[in-house]
Structure 1
């Protein structure tokens, strides 16, 4: 274990985005970092809801897809700093966000993985925006892998899966790492609104 830690410090790393030599920098190489720009999208799977707008870095492919997989499955937690910083740059000031939260993992999944990648991203975004990060949501039952479900089955599977704590700010930003149909974000937003949050905005690294 000690030898592995020493080698990790001494040996050059590979950029998860392009597999080029990263040296001792954290996260992504400079060219891969410069390829990421936050976008405010008004037409998304969330359109037609109370908040149709979504801040996103891009589609789940290429540099972004590989980076998200490295963060989520490769335990490259430093990527949350890079991706979260880029994501924060796209959050409009006119949203008036008062606090940031993230889609929670079920406790069993959290124990297996050891961290919640959405929370790491949320904390980075909150720090960049000068806002508090709140563990506002909990997942009270496991829902399995939503990506493997048909779109029409996802919202039903998530019904009642999330609970929000009371006493939350009126306007919050909700983070996740990847959005497919938006059902997870909508289910979490529903729980936040049931707890008294008036406006929920959304941000996700990839679609």
Structure 2
């Protein structure tokens, strides 16, 4: 069964979390480029736009006042403050998209993952990426060459805090090889798409089989 004959399924919210430098961004970009059934959930943020970023594609850039209004009006699945800037996942369109079979990729930390899971357990799949070692993580962060020693140390401290929450995820993958790590993430996504409870078209299909 393929194409228009495929059974309808409910979409899922696929969370990829990792400490900074563990390869999450690379994996996420590749997944979006190679899998047409998943799209990025675009977060709202109060942080300034960086060179090359596009409003509405990378983030929805909003003022602090607008962000707090959205919090008060319960327009976020989850939100958090990180390094003095706020980030949140707007609910708009996502619920309707899930019902229509659209998958969403979430690039959020463990706090956001916890909030999202509490609000919508059935649609959430949680994947955490680990670096092969702390030394390798430090090397990757230092290798960027764009941050001060203080910023790198702050990121290392935050990375260790993030890693301590590894057991709050459904799947944990060590990223010692980017291709192997990506293959595992794809396997997880494919298996989760086939879960019986997401195959909403099965009910009618089985009913026909048993006529």
Q: What TM-score comes out, normalization by structure 2 length? A: 0.30
Q: Which has the higher contact order (CA 8 A, sep 6+)?
A: 2
> Which is helix-richer, 1 or 2?
2
Q: What TM-score comes out, normalization by structure 1 length? A: 0.31
Query: Which protein is bigger by CA-based radius of gyration?
Result: 2
